[in-house]
């Protein structure tokens, strides 16, 4: 599996993805699941992927090919006029890839399924973020629905639900992401370090701070250990039940 | 869905289950998922169920019927010589019920699936707890693997992983269960109040303290609200990330 999160903040967008991929439990390797297309001053578009690796890599390769071969599918991701159009482009590509893989095969479409988080900003528009389904349709993050998770999302949701607020700084949001990822890593073998992080600051129209958290990262380890202790203290601070 | 937890403690066993059942999201009702068979001084056996309600209720009804009609399947749950034999009895019954429901129907066996937590003590043995699969086989809780969750288990797992220890008192364990259930309730509509709780104190061979937590329960609300605040404080106590 995979775990990826996209956060919509007042100050911009934040993305984090793990890098584990596995077929069963004994064919495990590491692969980047975060892809960025950037034209400074014009657009920054970032895609996070979860699901069948053959599908997600084909989708990204097709998007890349279309950028080079302008006659194939116009406009390409570097030319689409808006984030909405970018989401449509990814959605159509996903649907085509899954359809092709399924045609005439023995497997069901579910086998080839993939889900994406797409976020960024195109000059003239606002920062926007979408969750794109394998069917090619998509929903947008709003202030009522300010973050998206794909992949193994359940373990890391409770802390997002409770600690997220849209006024968070990027520094606080990084801490939140790491706690959410660490809760997932501690409970599920199919999500693994390193983690890729990217920040996008509103209206900059270029790539923001980026970092890959490796297993021995000092900050990651400090949060992971600190969170265990802080949780235990929080738990102890609550009153025990009284039988009577 | 459902959420049920069984904990194995040094001092005994603890069980908690929610009561929500739903077919889709608009056919929601409340049903007890905790069943107890007791012969004071001889045995206390408690079963928690998750999965298809027709299957789980049929399993329990068959176990009850067999108690009355001694010629059907001997020995009944009130007569089996050990907790292991009780787990075998439940396992065989589950497998038969699912097989019968699947025979000749259009649906796959998955539709009729159900999973159980069985715990208790029979005179002459230790307190034991089992997780019983729809296939009828089962695994036992050990000190390496001291709790079982069935149903919608992912949201509530991180706190169990981090705060459980086998020396906990029943009062602390109740608090832990409620935090785990509250994390699940806050993230998933298919798990709902009221919650049923039962404690089994080692070697008592009778039903221990029992309680149904309703939506307006003072202790439940205090933990639920207190945990939100405590989590936020715990989160704030950790250092923010520093970009550099």
| Cα–Cα dist B33/B47, whole Å | 8
A to B CB pairs, distance under 8 Å = 121
End-to-end, the C-alpha distance of chain A in Å comes to 46
CB contact under 8 A, A243 and B171: yes
Task: Give all strands of the β-sheet with B147-151 in edge-to-edge order.
Answer: B147-151, B3-9, B12-17, B195-201, B210-213
Chain B residues within 8 A of A162 when measuring between CB atoms: 186, 228, 231-232
Both tokens assigned to A148: 């998206």
Q: Using one digit for the tens of pLDDT, what is the confidence trace for B17-34?
A: 998 877 666 666 778 899
For chain A, domains (ranges, CATH) are 3-236 (3.60.20.10)
Min Cα separation B73/chain A (Å):
39
| Cα–Cα dist A32/B122, whole Å | 53
pLDDT for B18: 92
Q: Is B144 on the interface with A (CB under 8 A)?
A: no
Min Cα separation B146/chain A (Å):
15
Per-residue pLDDT of chain A (244 residues; tens, 9 = 90+): 789 999 999 999 999 999 887 766 666 677 889 999 999 999 999 999 999 888 999 999 999 988 877 565 568 999 999 999 999 999 999 999 988 887 766 555 567 889 999 999 999 999 999 999 999 999 999 999 999 999 988 889 988 988 999 999 999 999 999 999 998 988 877 788 899 999 999 999 999 999 999 989 999 999 999 998 898 899 999 999 998 7
With H, G, I as helix, E, B as strand and everything else as coil, classify residue B34. strand
- Closest Cβ opposite residue B183 in set A158, A176, A226: A158
- Closest Cβ opposite residue A242 in set B162, B163, B171: B171
| Strand intervals (E) in chain A | 3-9, 12-17, 20-23, 27-30, 34-39, 43-51, 114-122, 128-132, 138-140, 147-151, 195-201, 210-213
What DSSP state is assigned to residue A15? E
**Maximum Cα interatomic distance, chain A, rounded to a whole number of Å:** 77
Distance set, CA B155 to CA A15, A157, B3, B69, B193 (Å): 22, 7, 10, 42, 16
| Cα–Cα dist B172/A139, whole Å | 42
pLDDT for A243: 86
- Peptide bond preceding B231 in cis form (omega within 30 of 0): no
Q: Using one digit for the tens of pLDDT, what is the confidence trace for A131-150?
A: 999 999 999 999 999 999 99
**Residue in chain B lying closest to A183 (CA):** B158
Q: Is A157 on the interface with B (CB under 8 A)?
A: yes
**Maximum Cα interatomic distance, chain B, rounded to a whole number of Å:** 77
CB B5 within 8 Å of CB B149: yes
CB contact under 8 A, A242 and B219: yes
Q: Is A163 on the interface with B (CB under 8 A)?
A: yes
Distance set, CA A84 to CA A74, A102, A119, A122, B68 (Å): 15, 27, 10, 10, 66
CB contact under 8 A, B155 and A158: yes
Q: Report ipTM (2 d.p.).
A: 0.81
Instruction: Give the mutation candidate from B152, B217, B241, B242 for the A interface (greatest A CB count, under 10 A).
Output: B241
Q: Is A170 on the interface with B (CB under 8 A)?
A: yes
Both tokens assigned to A27: 């064919």
Contacts of A86 by beta carbon, 8 Å cutoff, 6+ apart: A45, A77, A80, A118, A120, A122
Instruction: Give the mutation candidate from B235, B236, B239, B242 for the A interface (greatest A CB count, under 10 A).
Output: B235
Instruction: Give the mutation candidate from B240, B242, B243, B244 for the A interface (greatest A CB count, under 10 A).
Output: B240
């Amino acid at each position: 599996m995979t775990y990826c999160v996209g956060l919509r903040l007042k100050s911009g967008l934040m993305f984090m993805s793990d890098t584990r991929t596995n077929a069963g439990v004994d064919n495990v390797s590491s692969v980047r699941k975060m892809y960025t297309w950037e034209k400074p001053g014009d657009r920054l578009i970032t895609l996070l992927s979860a699901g069948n690796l053959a599908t997600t890599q084909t989708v990204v390769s097709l998007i890349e090919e279309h950028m080079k071969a302008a006659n194939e599918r116009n406009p390409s991701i570097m030319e689409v006029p808006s984030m909405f159009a970018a989401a449509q482009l990814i959605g159509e590509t996903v649907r085509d890839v899954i359809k092709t893989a399924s045609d005439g095969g023995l497997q069901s479409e579910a086998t080839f399924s993939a889900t994406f988080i797409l976020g960024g900003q195109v000059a003239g528009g606002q920062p926007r973020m979408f969750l794109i389904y394998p069917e090619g349709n998509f929903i947008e993050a709003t202030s009522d629905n300010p973050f998206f998770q794909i992949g193994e999302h359940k373990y890391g949701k409770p802390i997002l639900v409770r600690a997220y607020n849209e006024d968070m700084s990027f520094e606080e949001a990084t801490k939140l992401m790491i706690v959410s990822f660490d809760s997932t890593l501690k409970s599920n073998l199919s999500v693994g370090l390193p983690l890729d992080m990217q920040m996008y600051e509103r209206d900059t129209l270029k790539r923001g701070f980026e970092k890959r958290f490796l297993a021995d990262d000092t900050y990651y380890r400090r949060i992971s250990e600190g969170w265990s202790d802080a949780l235990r203290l929080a738990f102890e601070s609550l009153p025990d039940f009284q039988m009577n």
